[in-house]
Amino acid sequence: MRNMVETLRILVVDDEAGMRMGAKRALRSLRVEVPDVECEVALELDDAPSAEEAIEKIKSDSPHLLLLDYKLPGMSGLDLLDRITEMDGETLTIMITAYASLETAVTATKRGAYDFLAKPFTPQELKQVVSKAAARVVLSRQARRLAEERRLVRFQFISVLAHELKAPLAAIEGYLRIVRDRSAGDDQGAYDHMVDRSLIRLEGMRKMVTDLLDLTHIESGQKSRSLEAVELAEVVRDVLETFAPAAKQRKITVSLHTEGPLTITADRSEVEIILNNLVSNAVKYNVDGGNVDVTLKGDQESVRIEVADTGIGLSAEEAGRLFEDFVRIKNARTRNILGSGLGLSIVKKLALLYGGDVIVSSRPGEGSTFSLVLMRKVPNEGPAPADQP
Amino acid sequence: MSIARKTVLLVDDDQDFLLQQKTLLQAAGFDVAVAQGRAEAETVLQKSRPDLAVVDLMMEHMDDGFALCHEIKTNWPNVPVILVTAVARETGLEFDPNAPKGGSWIKADAMLAKPIRFEQLKREIDRLCG
């Protein structure tokens, strides 16, 4: 949102030409400051001598802000206010009352005016009132934009998810049909292989659903986190044990390097999710006979977990988008490796939750090292507000 | 002596799709060659001359399928190509490749949306090299 220019159209409605000119002159030099938003507000000023002409201009230009004189020849300011409310409700009206009459101001406000200004007023008073209304227009516009962006992100997430779940479903369905119809003839080995492949794709789907639940828990902030003293080496050992069979099968050596106990305040299941994802990747994307080294280091404030593999590695471009949702690196060496594309996105979100971060250093063909830093004390209790499903 | 069996080249990075279509095509009396990417497909094409190629649109790179299709049409113009894609809706490629607008640049002889039904694939294969 930096360096954004927000255009604000202001229509001055007054039957006195001098008032219209004066107001426009005063506003020309107005610099609108919107708190907490870095943007420039460009004002476009126009005027109308009557309510009837104002209606035409509102229809054609849809101004954001109306400086409306209460007393007008023909249709009155209050009647115009009613018309505006009927028309869209997007335009903010500042009612200019002829005298310092509280009663008129109250009536106008009740009928939908945003603010009022009593004649006679100084240019400074005018600027102040317009400034406040302008800030409000810009803020609500940005809020709307943000809501729309979130809606799009959510929509995109759901369509990618649906696509990712459809692929294994189609694969499993295809195998089931072949087995049912005995399309491979008498080749029992072929059917066994197809059943195995179906189980692998089902496992992939299960992982995707689990990851999705983890992600939803983290982002919704609903999950009740139970913070306790967690001994990291202990968790790492458990995780390494889980992946030992897969590693052994491919002759991958898995080791833990630590200089003694290292304790952090954390939700144990979250630390497990992080390590599960990193170690699982280190095994999955390794070469047969390779190494996975998990190193734990710590100081007073933070702990550092490094998971290094001797696997296929990543290019700088690939590393750059690795932590986004559903990003999977597609190339000849990864095409038969299954994954949800959510694991590292989860790791990143959890790391941020612990006031830390995760980075990757890698070279294609030489392996990757994921370095994760977590604060020993959780900075804030609740997770960040969700901006994704 | 039976009539010569037709050979179909299947190109897709999805090993499950390859295995399933290969099994079904073989059951239907075809010889099948498979390739898991563009480079592998080129090797197959240089060594043998399939009667038809079934090519997935999105493999390692977004446009591998298009590139391969174009290559086949340039170097082996008599080999019909069926493009299959799982992202028909997302890419908006649901048009008929025989229509003037689509056919002029896509070059494929047919396009099918994944998940494809085998009967549908078989019908297209029979139509194109029957």
Domains of chain B: which residue ranges? 7-129
Sole residue written with tokens 């609500």: A140
Please count the structural domains in chain A: 2
One-letter amino acid of A219: E
> Are the beta carbons of A222 and B37 closer than 8 angstroms?
no
What fold does the segment set B7-129 form as a domain?
Answer: Rossmann fold (3.40.50)
Contacts of A173 in chain B (CB under 8 A): 115
Range of the domain at A9: 4-148
Choose the mutation target among B16, B24, B57, B87 for the interface with A, i.e. most A CBs under 10 Å. Answer: B16
Is residue A90 domain-resident?
yes
Under an 8 A CB cutoff, do B15 and A336 touch? yes
Residue among A110, A88, A95, A122 nearest A12 (CA): A95
The CB-side HSE value for B65 (13 A sphere, CA atoms) comes to 25
Q: What is the CATH number of the domain that holds A235?
A: 3.30.565.10
> Domain for residue A235, yes or no?
yes
Q: Are residues A120 and A241 in the same domain?
A: no
Residue where a domain stops, chosen among A148, A166, A186: A148
How would residue B116 be classed by pLDDT, with cut points 50, 70 and 90?
confident
Q: Can you tell me the distance from the alpha carbon of A333 to that of B24, in angstroms, rounded to the nearest whole number?
A: 27
Strands A367-375 and A302-309: antiparallel
pLDDT value of position A386? 44
Considering only CB atoms, A174 lies closest to which of B16, B59, B87, namely B16
Asked if residues A310 and A247 have their Cβ atoms less than 8 Å apart, the reply is: no
Phi, psi of B97 (to 5 degrees): -65, -15
| Average pLDDT of the residues in B30-51 | 92
pLDDT bucket at B102, cuts 50 / 70 / 90: very low
Residue A384 resides in a domain: no
pLDDT at A252: 95
- Domain membership of residue A30 (yes or no) is yes
389 residues of chain A, pLDDT tens digit each: 446 788 899 999 999 999 999 999 999 888 887 877 778 888 999 999 999 999 999 989 889 999 999 888 889 888 998 888 888 667 899 999 876 577 888 888 888 889 989 888 899 999 999 999 999 999 988 889 889 988 888 888 888 888 888 889 999 999 999 999 999 999 999 999 999 999 999 998 998 898 888 888 787 776 667 889 999 999 999 999 999 999 999 999 999 999 888 999 998 888 999 999 999 999 999 999 999 999 999 988 899 999 999 998 888 888 888 888 887 777 767 777 777 788 898 899 889 988 899 999 998 889 999 999 999 877 655 444 444 44
- Please tell me if residue B36 touches chain A, with a CB cutoff of 8 Å: yes
Look up residue B20 and give its DSSP letter. H
Chain A residues near residue B61 by CB distance under 8 angstroms: 330
- Chain B interface disruption, residue of A330, A337, A338, most B CBs within 10 A: A330
CA distance to partner chain A, nearest, from residue B96 (Å): 23
Question: For the residues of A282-332, what is the DSSP string, one character each?
Answer: HHHTSPTT-EEEEEEEE-SSEEEEEEEE-SS---HHHHHTTTSTT----ST
pLDDT of residue A46: 95
Report the chain A residue with the minimal C-alpha distance to residue B116: A170
Same domain for A143 and A229, yes or no, is no
- The strand pair at A367-375 and A357-363 is best described as antiparallel
Residue A171 to residue B59, Cβ atoms within 8 A: no
How far, in Å, CA of B112 to CA of B88, rounded? 9
**B60 to chain A, minimum CA–CA distance in Å?**
5
Domain boundary at A148, A175, A195, which? A148
Q: Is A253 on the interface with B (CB under 8 A)?
A: no
Establish if A139 belongs to a structural domain.
yes
Q: Is residue A274 part of a domain?
A: yes
Q: How far apart are CA A190 and CA A306, in angstroms?
A: 42
Q: Specify whether A261 is located in the same domain as A353.
A: yes
Whether the per-residue pLDDT at B63 is higher than 90: the answer is no
Residue A356 backbone dihedrals phi, psi, to 5 degrees = -120, -155
Give the nearest chain B residue to A187 (CA atoms). Answer: B23
Number of separate helices (H) and strands (E) present in chain B: 6, 5
ipTM of the complex: 0.85
Chains A–B, number of C-beta pairs less than 8 Å apart:
53
Burial class of residue A186 in the structure, from the number of CB atoms within 10 Å of its CB (0-12 exposed, 13-18 middle, 19+ buried): exposed
Cα of A348 to nearest chain B Cα, Å: 25
A352 contacts: CB under 8 Å, gap ≥ 6? A384
> Domain boundary at A148, A175, A192, which?
A148
pLDDT at A31: 84
User: Which residues in chain B touch residue A185, judged by CB atoms under 8 angstroms apart?
Assistant: 27
